Amino acid sequence: MDLAHIRKLAGVLEEGKKKAKEEYDDSAEFTDELADVGAAIEKVAAILEQKRWTDWMKITDQNYSTGCVDANRRMITKFKELKNLYEQLEGMLMDAE
């Protein structure tokens, strides 16, 4: 077997590994990842609304005239929308069972 053939076989094997990772093994694996997405949304949303976070935005605005408070308000609004959409998606998926 020549080196070119070995490389070709290695490429086929690597492509097979990638394809296997592109799909979920079962619904439990998908559900776990869905829950991870929901938890990530909740975590970021909670940080954006913490008093120490919003205070930092205010101080930054005062010191540098940045507009961070308004940007943070917009981010909070978007994360609330994202959370709502996530909950709708989760509900649709649960109804599909």
Burial of 65 (0-12, 13-18, 19+ CB in 10 A): exposed
pLDDT tens, position by position, 14-26:
666 666 578 898 9
**Residue 82 predicted with pLDDT over 90:** yes
pLDDT tens, position by position, 67-78:
999 999 999 999
CA distances from residue 17 to 7, 11, 13, 20, 27 in whole angstroms, order as listed:
15, 10, 6, 5, 20
CA distances from residue 68 to 52, 54, 71 in whole angstroms, order as listed:
14, 9, 5
Planar angle of CA 77, 79, 81, nearest 5 degrees: 70
pLDDT of residue 4: 72
Evaluate whether 59 touches 69 at the Cβ level (below 8 Å).
no
Does the pTM surpass 0.85? The reply is no
